[in-house]
Amino acid sequence: MRPARARLSSAERRLFLLLGAPGLGLSLSLTVISTYLPVLARGFTGSRAGIGALVGGEGLVALLVPLWIGGLSDRVDTRFGRRVPFLMATAPVAAVALALIPLARSLPVMAVEVFFFYAAYFTYLAPYRALYADLVPLSLSGRAQGIQGIFSQVGLGSALVGGGLLLELWRPLPYLVAAAALLLGTVLLVLGLRGTEGPPAVPQRGSRSSAAEVWALLRDHRAIRALMIANALLSLTLGGMKAFVVLWLTEGLGKSMKFIAGAMTVVAVGALLGALVSGQLADRHGAARVLARTLVVFGLGLVLPAFSSSTLLLGAELPLIAFCGGAASTLPYATVMQRMPARSHGAAAGLFDVSGGVGTLLGPALTGAAIDLLRPLFASTQGYAAMWLVLSASTLASVAMLRRARSG
């Protein structure tokens, strides 16, 4: 156990609230796409694996964009700072693409719009993450990520609870709300950080590229390697879950959208509490330790839905799983912040997004393939119960990598 300040100063609370504000729009927009895009895509294709690949395109873009953008944001400098110009340029692009997705008249058109959203999203994300490493003391990284996690969980919960209801009222509505939230959060952050200076830009070091910076991080830092693998495995879990949880409930268990909204309310409240409590515990006990113990409970809990359709049993387990899921979404970057070199905040943030992209790319595709392949064994849920075996296995595997990082 290590000492942690009980209270944040007013300046720290203001900074953490400003940094967290875009998290609501980012989470809301990404969750609307990953959760309800499959519902829209079902109008164009019946292939679960195909739907998983469309949603998993997030991971493909995440493999290409953050490495370059994160390292670039370490080296450029403007009158707006290093990170903020990326946010100002990409938030409007992401918002427009998001608003157009539900208006698509064919699967190829939808795929193009989704690609542009993901390209803007990941150009935004790595510099945004790097702001935390630039401005937040390591001793407060858990609570900073906890506050950001609260914003993210509010966005997640709003999408899960209200998204389906808004979708029934008017298909574009949840996408328009998400676009507006992203723009508003970005404006608040940009205006609030005026005059706030982070560390100076990293000077150019010969002809070393962003990719070379990332390779140096992986080569020279064993703990970072392990953390990135753990993040990829955890992103596999979360990506696969978000892609198919609504279809599991509607087609697998035959639940209505109103039932889903009620269940997602429980998930949202539990996840919000998980984000809040885990951030405080991370500053006291260490982010990696708290995350690893939480993921053990999370991974074991994900086994139950594979073998039970009982509303009573699943409902009893749901609050605990939601709490652990909130912590699992909040703490991974806090663990990386503890290990990243001071001169490579952007490169490390980009690498974090790439590792998440690997998992997000594989998660929906592997989960969708498992549903299709194991459908005969899980016929009562049309194969959807098989998804929980994949998600449990990837979660528990991430724990082993976290323990390796702690010993590295």
CA atoms of 255 and 164, how far apart (whole Å): 13
Task: Tell me, yes or no, whether 7 lies in a domain.
Answer: no
Q: What is the pLDDT of residue 222?
A: 84
The number of C-alpha atoms within 13 Å of 134 and in the hemisphere containing its C-beta is: 26
Q: 242 lies in a domain?
A: yes
Write the pLDDT tens digit of every residue in 254-273: 988 788 878 888 888 898 89
pLDDT at 206: 47
In a domain, 85, yes or no: yes
299-313 exposure pattern, b = at least 16 Cβ within 10 A, e = fewer: bebbbbbbeeeeeee
pLDDT tens digits, 217-227: 777 778 889 99
Which pLDDT tens digit goes with each residue over 125-184? 989 998 998 888 888 888 899 899 889 888 877 887 787 788 888 888 999 999 999 999
pLDDT tens across 40-90, in order? 777 776 666 677 777 766 667 777 888 788 878 877 777 777 888 999 999
Residue 139: give the domain boundaries: 21-195+209-407
- Is 200 within the bounds of a domain? no
Tokens 């996408």 sit on residue: 175
Is 387 within the bounds of a domain?
Answer: yes
Q: 336: which residues sit within 8 A by CB, 6+ positions away? A: 224, 227, 231, 348, 352
**Strand (E) or helix (H) holding 69:** helix 66-75
pLDDT digit string (tens) for 260-308?
878 888 888 898 899 889 988 998 888 889 999 999 999 999 999 999 9
- In the chain, the number of structural domains is 1
Distance between CA atoms of 87 and 245, rounded to whole angstroms? 31
Burial class (CB in 10 A: 0-12, 13-18, 19+), 26: buried
- Whether residue 12 is contained in a domain is answered as no
Q: Is residue 14 one of the residues assigned to a domain?
A: no
Q: Give the model confidence (pLDDT) of 191-228 as tens digits.
A: 988 766 555 554 544 445 666 777 777 777 788 899 99
pLDDT value at 327 more than 70 = yes
Which residue did the predictor score with more confidence, 206 or 32? 32
Residue 262 lies in a domain: yes
* CATH number of 26's domain: 1.20.1250.20
**Confidence (pTM):** 0.80
Q: How confident is the model at residue 1 (pLDDT cuts 50, 70, 90)?
A: very low
